[in-house]
Amino acid sequence: MKYLDFMIDFFENKGVKSVFAYPGEQILPIYRALHENSKINCIDVKHEQASAHAADGYFRITNEVGVCLATAGPGATNLTTGIATAFKDSSSVLAITGRCSTNYIEKNYFQEIPMDFLNFEKGYFVENPDSKYLINSYNESYNLKKPVSINIPADIYNQDVNELETDFKNKNTESLENAISTIKKHKNAKNPVLLLGQGIYGNLKYSEMIKIGEILKKLQIPILTTYPARGVVNENFENAYAMVGRRGSLNSNELILKSDAVFSIGASLSYNTLPESIRDKILYNVIPLNLGINSTNDIKTIVNTFNENVSSGHVKPSGQNLSRNEFKFGDYSTKIHEILENLPKDTIITTDAGNHTVFVSLLKKCVAPRNIISSHSMGTMGFGLPASIGVKFGCNDYNINREVVSISGDGGFQMNIQELGTVAENNLKILIVVMKNNHLNMFGKINTPDFNKIADAYGIENVYIQNKDEIGENVAYFLKKSIPYVMVVECENEKLPKPFI
């Protein structure tokens, strides 16, 4: 079996349904083979950075490895921002890159450069047609929840696989028994809370991810989440205190400060979650429960263990996100609020970095997993649109019946504006919102193009909105259709409210 045939067979056996790619000379064999394959959809993006962001978005909604493909040299370097974003946010992304034939490596050949710059977590250089490179890189990305790169020289594809290893089963190996033991050791905690990060999703399929919330409703101690984990439990639930941290609610931050036992599952405890002003005090009380989540039964076991061994502590009324009585709405936030109010509550919203991201986070009540998908730890401008493409393909591949909306500022939107082409070519039903305030957050005014004319050029229906009252009818129009829709919203610049801690 040729290495190229092995790769296609491997992807089919793993259930890979979509690959995000940009063609190039050094990857033509695998690129063409993917396009000729009837079981795998090879999506042509317009820039390699977008392929990495799309693969990232695909992972976040499906919990399956997102795969992106780029050629050697500039194709690979263009992946860097996307792979860095996936690394910071712990996304399983397999980045396949090309390289010149092995006899030209390190000989100043065309587009030949050292390729270790993509190895943020780990990377493989395929020195020979050994099956272990692809098997290990895919499975490690899945299990580590990190991006892994694999660099394949052009002459490898046509060589015979010289060692066909048996694939090993994906499985989290952290001990459930150890987590149970840890909980029991702290049964005397007076004010316990459970802090959930996105690691709570473990190796679950989407169909299992959406069941977690109902299981957690039986938990007797307060539930807090990090930003990426919002929606794991419905934030309208009385015992769910929503997000903690710099942009968390007043109640959730007050609760974690008063707690003497912060049980943590799947949270990286970044400075956004535990800001410097309170970090040391809270870290002293953090009790990490290191366990691998392989089924919802694992979560049921943890909930039962808590309820049988730990006091419910100081359960209080539901913590709230920022609401109208907590800060004065300006034009920008009012229009964001109006957009959110007219969308289905479980809509998947992707954002970039900037004012719109903060206002979406503050004003959105999350009711389902991955309600908000953002570049949480990297703050990558230009993430929202290509990520929404990956999310939409993920929804289509796994029959996830939820609307997808990308909300960007007029600065970040221009960084991957070319992906309107990908949206148009695939007729993806995505609502693409551009908040046009001619401002780059705190940095000052910017000049912006006519986004509506650009949407026209790509053949995408669009509208320019000036007044809040126009928003509802246009969101309703999008929801009734099965096409992409660009909504450019003129808004005034507005200062962000100060973080609560």
**Selected residue with higher pLDDT from 266 and 338:** 338
pLDDT reading at 321 higher than 90: no
pLDDT reading at 171 higher than 60: no
Helix, strand, or coil (residue 28)? helix
pLDDT at residue 314 in the model: 58
- List Cβ neighbours of 473 (8 Å cut-off, separation of 6 or more): none
pLDDT-derived band at 319, boundaries 50, 70, 90 = very low
For the chain, how far is it from start to end, CA to CA, in angstroms?
59
Which residue do the tokens 């977690």 mark? 212
CATH of region 3-153, choose from 3.10.129.10, 3.40.50.11740, 3.40.50.970, 3.40.1670.10: 3.40.50.970
pLDDT at residue 188 in the model: 87
Q: Is residue 370 within 8 Å of residue 351, measured between CB atoms? A: no
Class level of CATH domain 176-309: alpha beta
How distant, in Å, are the alpha carbons of 275, 276, 310, 330, 443 from that of 283? 11, 11, 20, 36, 34
Considering only CA atoms, give the Rg of the chain. 23
Which tens digit of pLDDT belongs to each residue from 439-448? Answer: 887 678 888 9
> What is the mean predicted confidence (pLDDT) over 24-28?
96
pLDDT at residue 494 in the model: 85
Lowest mean per-residue pLDDT among 3-12, 131-140, 263-272: 263-272
pLDDT reading at 56 higher than 70: yes
Which tens digit of pLDDT belongs to each residue from 361-392? Answer: 999 999 999 999 999 989 999 999 999 999 99
Share in percent of the chain as helix, strand, coil (round to 5)? 40, 15, 45
- What kind of fold does domain 331-490 have according to CATH? Rossmann fold (3.40.50)
Phi, psi at residue 34, to the nearest 5°?
A: -65, -40
pLDDT at residue 243 in the model: 87
> What is the mean predicted confidence (pLDDT) over 412-420?
97
pLDDT at residue 174 in the model: 60
Which tens digit of pLDDT belongs to each residue from 208-260? Answer: 999 999 999 999 889 999 999 999 999 999 888 888 887 887 778 888 888 88
pLDDT at residue 325 in the model: 44
pLDDT at residue 177 in the model: 87
Closest residue by Cα to residue 257 from 279, 241, 238: 279
pLDDT at residue 486 in the model: 99
- Chain region(s) in the chain for CATH 3.40.50.970: 3-153, 331-490
Q: Which DSSP string corresponds to 101-169?
A: -GGGTTTT-TT----GGG-SSEEEE--SSBTHHHHHHHHHHHHHTS-EEEEEETTTTTSBPSB-PPPPP
pLDDT reading at 322 higher than 50: no
Q: ∠ at Cα 321 (260, 53), nearest 5°?
A: 100
Q: ∠ at Cα 419 (413, 424), nearest 5°?
A: 120
- List Cβ neighbours of 195 (8 Å cut-off, separation of 6 or more): 224, 225, 226, 244, 256, 262, 263, 264, 265, 267, 286
Burial class of residue 113, CB neighbours in 10 A (0-12, 13-18, 19+): middle
Helix (H) or strand (E) holding 488: strand 485-490
pLDDT at residue 500 in the model: 57
Q: Is residue 378 within 8 Å of residue 89, measured between CB atoms? A: yes
- Chain region(s) in the chain for CATH 3.40.50.1220: 176-309
Helix (H) or strand (E) holding 62: helix 48-62
pLDDT reading at 93 higher than 50: yes
CA distance 228 to 378: 13
Q: Is residue 442 within 8 Å of residue 449, measured between CB atoms? A: no
Q: Is residue 170 within 8 Å of residue 144, measured between CB atoms? A: no
pTM above 0.75, yes or no: yes
Which tens digit of pLDDT belongs to each residue from 124-151? Answer: 999 999 999 999 999 999 999 999 999 9
Q: Is residue 209 within 8 Å of residue 295, measured between CB atoms? A: no
Q: Tokens at residue 237, please?
A: 């639930």
Burial 217-230 (b: 16+ CB within 10 A, else e): eebebbbbbbbbbb
